[in-house]
A and B are shown apart, each in its own frame.
Chain A
Amino acid sequence: MKRIAIALAVSLAVSGAALAQEKTIKIAGFGAKTGAVRSFGVNSEAALLAAADVINKQGGVRLADGSKAKIAVEFYDDRCTAEEGISIIRRIAGTEAIVAVGPTCSNVAEPLFGILQKKVDDKSDSGLQMPIFTDVAVKGGLAKISEWSFRNVPSEWTMYSSLFYWLKTRNPGAQTVYGGVEEDFAHSRASWYAVMKDRAEANGYKVLGNSKWLLNDSNFATQVREMKNANADIVAIAAHPFTTCGVLKEMQRQGVKPKVLIGLTSSSSMETLQGCAKQAEGIIIPTSFAPVTKEGKFAAETTAKFKGAADLHSMAAWENMFILKDVIESEKVSGNKDQLQADRRKIRDGLAKLKETKGLLGITKRTEDREADKPYLFVQATKGEWKVLHDPL
């Protein structure tokens, strides 16, 4: 009888522990998994799953009551369209997810942040109260739209400022800059007009002009001819990989060889090298990730096991997962279904409190307007690979 009682007690204890183990914290990811920017969503999802797997293998995340919970990631496809993004965030808000990581595209992030409550505790504002921690959408200054939006994306303003300053000291002979911009893409436009052009002028360069093309364009003869006529020392291309490659190939045809070629942050990925490694040879791009640290290499390798590639965007998703783990633990998130909204608020407040976070390249400073000031490097396309050219920090 005694044996049976012990066995029963043990089995109850084991099943109780198992039940505690089964507790999960749901984190939603969302981004583009269809269309021409599918690779961004695929890589972000892989990085989130990989990071969650690492955390879960280490026992999971500690909750307010001292128990441990596993992290479950569910990823949604927003197709890089604003209406789909808004629809998805509303769907996510209806689930048990305590926070959402995404989106891929700035043209989704901007309107999506607009449907969130602008200021916390503003009872007159019926906006969505769901913390969003962006990994990819990089257009400057978006997090200030709502106090529920946070970003862990690099500051292009800082990176290009530093890049032009460095180029000035490295190539004192180069005096002029000419731009190329994907005119119908929010991020590219903002990157050229508000960042690259501005930062080049601030560093004493004379901007001779810029050529424009559209995201879907395939013929760049006229634009490159304008570029050739300008004969600038530096050409800065604010465009995504497909048109960047089209322009680089046309530059090769027309014999346009600037002293320095600069690319858009988002183009420091395998996409550019897959599309035009030969023509991209020598292009310099500032980026917030390269697998140069032990942690970075581990993150890249683990993400690869989940069929994702490591780049500045997907590795931000990886970082987000570990930052969220720390916030869940420090803010004592309950993980109870009936406390869902309170837990979301704790995540928001926890993210807002952060002054700095651990990143794969080093310490990331958090700004008052919920943006990140991430460490960065300058990489250069060399023989079909991105090699670190300079570490300004």
Chain B
Amino acid sequence: MLDLLQVVSDGLLFGATYALIGIGFTLVFGVMHKLNLSYAAASLGGAYCGLLVLKVAAGAPAGLVFLGALVAGGVIGWLVYLTCFHFIPLSNPLATLMSTVGMLLLIDEIIVHVTAGMPQNYPAMFEDVMLHVGGFTLRGDLLLVFLLSVLCMAGLLALLYRTKLGLATRAVSQQAVAAQLCGIRVARVNALTFIVTGLLGGVAGAMIGAAVGALSPLLSAPLTVKGLIVTVIGGLGSIPGAIIAGLLVGGFENVFQLYRGVTERDFYVMLLLFAFLIFRPGGLFAPKTGRD
């Protein structure tokens, strides 16, 4: 029993990294009703850029690397918006889907070419901190990721519900044409949404690098898949949903692995996704639909 609880708690904590990626997917979908499939790769791109801090100042603290990743994530987010959305007809849903797939592959290949595919050591905060509670152990660095996810959620909710930008964002997400008629610059709101999700992505990528201990191009495909699963299970467009779904997917993944082995683990995670698509297609926290 203790094993099961430990496995669940490990999974829940690691699920915080999925939650961070899921939030980015869901935020873009919530505002633009589009999927940005390059999000996980862009987040990793931001994290890789954060490592440049160590090139400039060897031995710099992990916090500075994370800050570099945050800034780079924002810039990459804006570039993704420009290349994959701004000049592409939004009325065609497949166009942006394909442009973001292309961007995913492009970012992946850039990373591969710059690093020759070699794993890059990534700094972590509280890496050596292990909290022992009874027979349990909890990783300090994953607790930090978990706290950051919650903080990101709180920050994003505050941004959406307490600021003019949030009001504009919600207006665009509900009725873009009406928002435009009210004087809101839709393209600017969309660009800012990508910058905000990019900033978040930079943090997410850095946290994933810190949690894994290394970055590799191998991470982008599984993170993209996990991010999408989390977004669907949490409810497309729901930020709290993404966090809860991220933790759930992380927890279930570990339980499936414990009982069915690593080779069957992803099979059951996919079954979980199908179960949601069939029985609760709106996800755990389907947001109320806006007027059309």
Contact = CB atoms under 8 A, between A and B. Distances in A.
B218 A216 contact: yes
B72 interface: no
Interface residues of B, number: 40
Interface string B194-226: 000000000000001001111011110110000
A175 B186 CA distance: 69
Contact of A218 (B113, B116, B222): B222
9 contacts: A35-B112, A216-B218, A219-B212, A241-B118, A242-B214, A246-B212, A246-B213, A271-B119, A276-B119
Contacts of A241: 118-119
A246 B219 CA distance: 12
A221 interface: yes
Name the prevailing secondary structure of the A interface residues: helix
Contacts of B218: 36, 215-216, 242
Nearest to A273: B121
Contact of A245 (B10, B119, B128, B253): B119
A275 B214 contact: yes
Contacts of B118: 39, 241, 270-271, 274-275
Contact of B10 (A39, A219, A246, A276): A219
B6 interface: yes
B212 A38 contact: no
A337 B212 CA distance: 53
Given A218-B212, A245-B214, A249-B213, A275 B254 contact: no
A13 interface: no
B159 to A, nearest CB: 29
B179 to A, nearest CB: 39
A184 B117 CA distance: 19
A42 interface: yes
Contact of B221 (A183, A216, A242, A276): A216
B127 to A, nearest CB: 8
Given A214-B262, A216-B219, A242-B216, A222 B119 contact: no
Nearest to B261: A212
Interchain residue pairs A-B with the least CB separation, the first 7: A275-B119, A249-B213, A38-B117, A39-B116, A221-B10, A242-B216, A218-B212
B214 A34 contact: no
Contacts of A271: 118-119
A287 to B, nearest CB: 18
Nearest to B263: A183
Interface in A205-240: 212-219, 221-223, 225
B211 to A, nearest CB: 7
Nearest to A307: B116
Interface string B124-152: 00011010000001010000000000000
Interface string A273-317: 011110100000000000000000000000000000000000000
Interface string B100-121: 0000000001001100111111
Interface of B: 3, 6-7, 10-11, 14, 17, 109, 112-113, 116-121, 127-128, 130, 137, 139, 208, 211-214, 216-219, 221-222, 250, 253-254, 257-258, 261-263
A254 interface: yes
B4 to A, nearest CB: 11
Given A216-B222, A219-B250, 8 more contacts: A36-B216, A221-B139, A222-B7, A242-B214, A270-B118, A271-B118, A271-B119, A276-B119
A91 interface: no
A254 B7 CA distance: 14
Given A217-B262, A218-B212, A276 B121 contact: yes
A270 B139 CA distance: 28
Contacts of B14: 219, 221
A99 B116 CA distance: 26
Contacts of B258: 222
B60 to A, nearest CB: 17
Nearest to B222: A216
B221 A253 contact: no
A174 interface: no
Contact of A36 (B3, B7, B112, B137): B112
A212 B262 contact: yes
Contacts of B254: 219, 221-222
B129 to A, nearest CB: 9
Nearest to B250: A219
Given A38-B117, A216-B219, A249 B214 contact: yes
